[in-house]
Amino acid sequence: MFDLHCHSVFSDGELIPAEIWQRVKVLGYIAIAITDHADQSNYEFIITNLLKIKEALRGLTPQLLVGVELTHVPPHLIPELIPKARNLGAEIVIVHGETIVEPVAAGTNRAAILGGADILAHPGLISEEEVNLAKEKGVFLELSGRRGHSLTNGHVARLALKHGVPLVINSDAHSPSDLLTPDLAFKIALGAGLTKEEVENLWKLAQRRFLKSP
């Protein structure tokens, strides 16, 4: 079990990174990515400080991955911010997609995909054209465990499976109660319309891509 999308006190989460790490350790995770909300004003602060805790926990399980979630960034600025975050040390760059429960700017999904984000979070009513583009660019689409964002999981899963686009299950946790158990993560994917075999393959593919393990 691993989660590639959660938030600490570096944005709007409730816990410091060390406590997130400890809590998912107890849940049996092999890895956790902390991906705080970021724009041009704070991405350097987030990445620089996450790198400190990553170094402190080096060699321990769960593996800590340094990330950011580019959030409500004007679409035309997203493609230039993604490589800046990577160059500073971000291992996973997520873009806050066009969820139906927030006023995300139209064009954000497309800009994230064209910019080569690793994961497009809660992409809402993403179009088939954008899903095909995600396949071409190797961008993972998220099935979200977070209330509100999860309302379009079925739509996202259906198009992703139709077009062969990789999926990942994430909590988008902001508080301890948001963290997913392995059983709940599995049920979220089943509820989105995936089969047991598709869920197992989903985890294997995401693990190979993001954890650099077979």
Per-residue pLDDT tens digits for 144-166: 999 999 999 999 999 999 999 99
State the pLDDT at residue 214: 42
The encoded tokens of residue 206 equal: 């995401």
Distances (CA, A) of 209 to 4, 92, 105, 138, 185: 12, 11, 29, 10, 19
Q: Which residue do the tokens 């590639």 mark?
A: 4
Total of domains in the chain: 1
**pTM, to two decimals:** 0.97
Q: Encoding tokens for residue 96?
A: 């806050």
Domain enclosing residue 93, as ranges: 2-210
State pLDDT tens for residues 31-78: 999 999 999 999 999 999 999 999 999 999 999 999 999 999 999 999
User: What Rg, from alpha-carbon coordinates, does the chain have?
Assistant: 16
Residues above pLDDT 90, as percent of the chain: 99
CATH of the domain at 201: 3.20.20.140
Residue 213, pLDDT > 80, answer no
CA atoms within 13 Å, Cβ hemisphere of 148: 11
Q: Dump the DSSP string for 3-58.
A: ES-B--TTTT-SS-HHHHHHHHHHTT-SEEEEEEEE-TTTHHHHHHHHHHHHHHTT
